Structure 1
Amino acid sequence: MAVFCEAVADGLLLALSLALLGWGAEGQGNGRGMKEVSGSATVNLGQDRDIWRPLIHTTVNLSEITSIKSTFQLRTFDPEGVIFYGDTKNGDDWFVLSLKDGIPLMQISKEDVLVSVAGGPKLDDGKWHTLELSNQGKFVILEVDGTSGLVVGTQSKQPEEVLSGGLRLALGGILIDKEKMIVQFEPQMDGCVREGSWLNLSSPWETEVEELWPCYQNIQPGSYFAGTGFAIFNTSGFPVDADDGLKIELVGDFSQMNGTIFSIKSPRHEWTVALVADKNTNVVSLTLGQEKTLMLNSLNKLVIIFQRELLQVFQDEPGETPFSVSLGNLDVLTTWTEGRLAVGGLLGEGEDSVGSHFLTGCLEKIQVQGKDLDLDLAVKHMSISPHSCPA
């Protein structure tokens, strides 16, 4: 028990050290092909990169740390993802702070002892929340908006270990094998952090990206497509009953969309299904192979059901009745499990992930077969905010 308590205590002291996390939206080169960024500005954690790769990272000497209190603000609609990471001994001892089901989750490894602690209020409501980590005697406290969210008491009979050497810090990713963690989760975090006050350090951070993404002043739930990327899914992940058909439901202001909303393509058959919004002509077009159906873009909801021989389209416009389109020789249901579904772009030819005619706009809801589509689970996605749109 003493070893366990020491591991928790040292790990949580490391956690407090990790709260350094200072960064900014503008940076300067450091001569090593990276840009330096500094503290207190707002950063978008959802920026494109390898899903486990940190967005910001730095290395500091533990002897420079004198404060054990840090605060920052977090805003997200995303229930799951990495906030920050840190380690000592080149990754032998490490700490991860993330969200899981919207709740703060801390995972700590110290001398082969693994600890996982979760608690506090749900933070995925799209509001700015102030988080404070502090060490008060034998207790490590995580406060959320001035109220105690998670309290961990620690006491060890072992002599207190003096931490020394280098401390590696990272934002939005980790520097260890993900399999080492007790609780597995999806790492992408569509969220923003701002107004950090990080211990007593002012060391610059580094980033490999050319320019950090901004954060919108106001956000709403949904998925935002910036016109430069899309999400791709293997259709085999969505089972289809031939009798009930395939149902796709979309909610949003179609008059503010421009580009391909979704496309479906089968690699062994020369056909493409695509729903495209054109803001210039105020038209939404549904292409089925060589056939095209036009609708006005004054829509907020569209339900499309593929059946054996026809397609049904339901619109939310008052007085509008569902209409049907014959599929002819287009056998969508039979070949569905062999294809790909792209949201936010037009699929290219072949097996590559090259797309075009990308969507600009917000989809408030995307459902396939009655279930919300989580863009974080896509085979590939880029330039998308999966859980938030500008309001």
Structure 2
Amino acid sequence: MNYLKEVVILLLGPYLILLCRRVSGEQISGKGIINLAHRQSKWTPLMQTSANLSDITSIRSFFEFRTLDPEGAIFYGDTKEGRDWFVLSLRDGIPEMQIGKADILVSVKGGRKLNDGAWHLLELRSEGKFVVLEVNNNVELLVGLHSKLAEDELTGKIRLALGGMLVDKQKLFHPFEPEMDACIRGGHWLNLSTPWDADSTWEPRPCFSEIKKGSYFPGTGVAMFNTSDLPGLKTEEAGITVEIFGSWTGTTLSLQSTGFEYVLRELDGNKDIKEMQLGLKEGSESVAPPHEPATLTFTILKHSLVVNSKPELETESLDFFSMWKNGMLLTFGGVPGDSEAAKNTHYLRGCLEKILVQGQVIDLDRALYKHTAVSSHSCPTEAMNELT
């Protein structure tokens, strides 16, 4: 387990230094295209703004929203320095509002699923003692609140935030995972027009013009799991299986533990694949998927590792079942750390449409570590030729 800690600290080192320095983030417009993904801090909002309540003439915000992610934080607001607050999130793809006000704590979930990859117009507004959520001009949630302890007239400041919360997560009535792989555009936030303060650890990236389900690796960075947190052995005969579906080139996965390292590089059928450049409106990225989708089945047996039914490594000196249970690093997309294997790694580039461990879908948002360049729930479609 000490080995796992050392690798995580090594990978997070630059991020931890940045946090210690508390470098100020830049200011950006709340009206442009905003990618809510690509950050290390879970709960810290990507961007936030504040205003005096005396300057607010409209308690109404609306924006377009697109995602394939089933869960995460979207929009947050509070007054009284966080004593009264609300957060809009997704759970199972369905909108959920949680509100804390005076002695009241409310959680309401309902409406249509929004994680279908299409753009949806969302509007949040206050109507007296009610908070209303509209989706595509239809009311989806209506939450009424009344407390004898609440103050009718509010003074001070109102704070707004995207992609996180400004109060402790312990205040939530119904906890959720905050990471959200989504895009927002065309935002109108109350009647405010001032720039927002961006979190210094956030790495703003363009949004793909069209998306499909999967985890996108752009040729930089990895996603790393502790195997003790993943589904375990059922029968010794079947072993532990990792199945990967998608189109990619580069290092698929690696296994590491104290004194042991295994790297699964490109499949034979995926070598000799030419990179395809994608034209971008901002920056420059490329993807290099194989011409045909691939399927990989990686099987861990007690004393051997098997790839697509072909033995890759056999050793009586190692018990892989015990190593899996006690905790190894299972890394998708490359080799973590600073070993020679890591230095010589060609990082995975392409779309992993689905990752299964023992038949269960693996969510990269639950990774022990995930590089900010990796998209957990969306890939560019094959026909994609630009970013917006």
- Bin for the TM-score computed over the shorter chain: 0.7 to 0.9
Query: Match for 2:159: what amino acid?
Result: R
SS across alignment from 1:271: strand
Q: Look up the match of 2:360.
A: 371
Q: Identify the match of residue 41 of structure 1 among 27, 32, 42.
A: 32
Sort the Cα spacing of 1:312 and 1:379 in 2 relative to 1 into closer, same or farther, 3 A: closer
Sort the Cα spacing of 1:154 and 1:282 in 2 relative to 1 into closer, same or farther, 3 A: closer
Higher share in strand: 1
Query: Match for 2:265: what amino acid?
Result: L
Q: Look up the match of 2:321.
A: 333
Q: Look up the match of 1:111.
A: 102
Q: Identify the match of residue 93 of structure 1 among 84, 90, 103.
A: 84
Sort the Cα spacing of 1:305 and 1:297 in 2 relative to 1 into closer, same or farther, 3 A: farther
Q: Look up the match of 1:307.
A: 301
SS across alignment from 1:90: helix
Within 5 Å, give how 1:268-283 maps onto structure 2: 269-276=259-266, 281-282=272-273
Residues 133-173 of structure 1: per-residue CA shift (max 9 Å, x gap): 23456643211112221123456778961111111221111
SS across alignment from 2:365: helix
C-alpha displacement at 1:228, in angstroms?
A: 2.1
Sort the Cα spacing of 1:330 and 1:77 in 2 relative to 1 into closer, same or farther, 3 A: farther
Q: Look up the match of 2:237.
A: 243
Cα distance in 2 for residues equivalent to 1:363 and 1:123: 22
C-alpha displacement at 1:57, in angstroms?
A: 1.1
Query: Would the aligned equivalents of 2:299 and 2:305 in 1 still touch at CA under 8 Å?
Result: yes
Q: Identify the match of residue 54 of structure 2 among 50, 63, 76.
A: 63
Structure of greater Rg: 1
Query: Would the aligned equivalents of 2:249 and 2:273 in 1 still touch at CA under 8 Å?
Result: no
Within 5 Å, give how 1:339-350 maps onto structure 2: 339-348=328-337
Query: Would the aligned equivalents of 2:96 and 2:108 in 1 still touch at CA under 8 Å?
Result: yes
Query: Match for 2:189: what amino acid?
Result: W
Query: Would the aligned equivalents of 2:124 and 2:133 in 1 still touch at CA under 8 Å?
Result: yes
Residues 160-188 of structure 1: per-residue CA shift (max 9 Å, x gap): 61111111221111122111111101110
Cα distance in 1 for residues equivalent to 2:30 and 2:191: 11
Q: Identify the match of residue 216 of structure 2 among 202, 216, 224.
A: 224
Q: Look up the match of 2:159.
A: 168
Query: Would the aligned equivalents of 2:217 and 2:333 in 1 still touch at CA under 8 Å?
Result: yes
C-alpha displacement at 1:355, in angstroms?
A: 10
Residues 243-289 of structure 1: per-residue CA shift (max 9 Å, x gap): 32111111112xxx23221111122x333242336976349xxxxxx
Query: Match for 2:192: what amino acid?
Result: L
Q: Look up the match of 2:69.
A: 78
Percent identity of equivalent pairs: 46
Residues 32-71 of structure 1: per-residue CA shift (max 9 Å, x gap): 8331111321101012131111110122111111113321
Query: Would the aligned equivalents of 1:277 and 1:297 in 2 still touch at CA under 8 Å?
Result: no
Sort the Cα spacing of 1:57 and 1:362 in 2 relative to 1 into closer, same or farther, 3 A: same
Query: Match for 1:229: what amino acid?
Result: G
With the length of structure 1 as denominator, give the TM-score of the two structures: 0.78
Instruction: Count residues with an aligned counterpart.
Output: 335
Cα distance in 2 for residues equivalent to 1:202 and 1:330: 65
Q: Look up the match of 1:292.
A: none
C-alpha displacement at 1:329, in angstroms?
A: 4.1
C-alpha displacement at 1:347, in angstroms?
A: 3.0
Q: Look up the match of 1:212.
A: 204
Query: Would the aligned equivalents of 1:38 and 1:205 in 2 still touch at CA under 8 Å?
Result: yes
Sort the Cα spacing of 1:345 and 1:53 in 2 relative to 1 into closer, same or farther, 3 A: same
Query: Would the aligned equivalents of 2:48 and 2:196 in 1 still touch at CA under 8 Å?
Result: yes
Q: Identify the match of residue 177 of structure 1 among 156, 168, 181.
A: 168
Sort the Cα spacing of 1:136 and 1:303 in 2 relative to 1 into closer, same or farther, 3 A: same
Cα distance in 2 for residues equivalent to 1:220 and 1:347: 27
With the length of structure 2 as denominator, give the TM-score of the two structures: 0.78
Q: Look up the match of 1:263.
A: 254
Query: Match for 1:220: what amino acid?
Result: K
Query: Would the aligned equivalents of 2:252 and 2:348 in 1 still touch at CA under 8 Å?
Result: yes
Query: Match for 2:38: what amino acid?
Result: Q
Structure 1 unaligned runs (5+)? 1-31, 284-295, 315-321
Query: Would the aligned equivalents of 1:97 and 1:104 in 2 still touch at CA under 8 Å?
Result: yes
Q: Identify the match of residue 194 of structure 2 among 193, 203, 206.
A: 203
Cα distance in 2 for residues equivalent to 1:210 and 1:326: 40
SS across alignment from 2:266: strand
Query: Would the aligned equivalents of 2:103 and 2:149 in 1 still touch at CA under 8 Å?
Result: no
SS across alignment from 2:265: strand
Q: Does 1:388 align with 2:378?
A: yes
Sort the Cα spacing of 1:276 and 1:300 in 2 relative to 1 into closer, same or farther, 3 A: closer
Sort the Cα spacing of 1:324 and 1:299 in 2 relative to 1 into closer, same or farther, 3 A: farther
